[in-house]
């Protein structure tokens, strides 16, 4: 079985078709939801994105993993995980899965996706892939 976990930043539940929005055209998400599962009774452990991401990949509340606020990579006064935690990607790897991150990371100050068991291009810090040379090279190769 394949697993596709989509975690959007600042995404309201009622803004996409699978959760009842009849105005927004989200046919691919609608199909994924129809053929897979949706979470109809899920809650975030904290309404701040970086600690919420950290909770998703550790399965622990922010007070247990230690990331309590949003910080860019390398920010003064920032922190990474308190102690060590089994990570979602590492647990999935034990079952034969390969986990790949697409998009921004924004977890901790020095942690990388690879530190937490994910493959994929790492865009350090918070922000936009267009600020990174390898992404600009990719866009250039497409004629953009």
Quick: pLDDT tens for 93-141: 999 999 998 877 888 877 889 999 999 878 765 556 666 777 778 788 9
Quick: pLDDT tens for 4-19: 888 887 788 889 999 9
Euclidean distance between CA atoms 118 and 93, whole angstroms: 10
Domain locations in the chain? 8-42, 47-141
- Beta bridge partner(s), residue 119: 100
106 is an active site residue:
yes
Residue tagged active-site, from 85, 106, 140, 144: 106
Identify the band that residue 75 occupies on the pLDDT scale cut at 50, 70 and 90: low
Token pair 């996409």: residue: 16
Token pair 């105005």: residue: 23
**pTM as predicted:** 0.77
116 is an active site residue:
no
**What is the residue-averaged pLDDT of the chain?**
85
Quick: pLDDT tens for 58-72: 999 999 998 888 765
């Amino acid at each position: 079985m394949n697993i596709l976990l989509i975690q959007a930043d600042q995404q309201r539940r009622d803004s996409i078709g699978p959760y009842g929005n009849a105005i927004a055209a989200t046919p691919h998400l609608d199909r994924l939801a129809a053929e897979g599962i949706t979470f109809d009774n899920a809650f975030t452990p904290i309404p701040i994105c970086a600690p919420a991401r950290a909770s998703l990949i550790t399965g622990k509340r922010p007070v247990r993993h230690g990331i309590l606020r949003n910080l860019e990579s390398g920010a003064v006064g920032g922190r990474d995980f308190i102690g060590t935690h089994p990570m979602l990607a590492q647990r999935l790897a034990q079952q034969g899965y390969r986990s790949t991150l697409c998009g921004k990371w924004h977890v901790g100050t020095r942690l990388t996706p690879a530190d937490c068991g994910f493959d994929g291009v790492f865009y350090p810090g918070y922000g936009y892939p267009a600020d990174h040379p390898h992404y600009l090279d990719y866009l250039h190769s497409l004629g953009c």
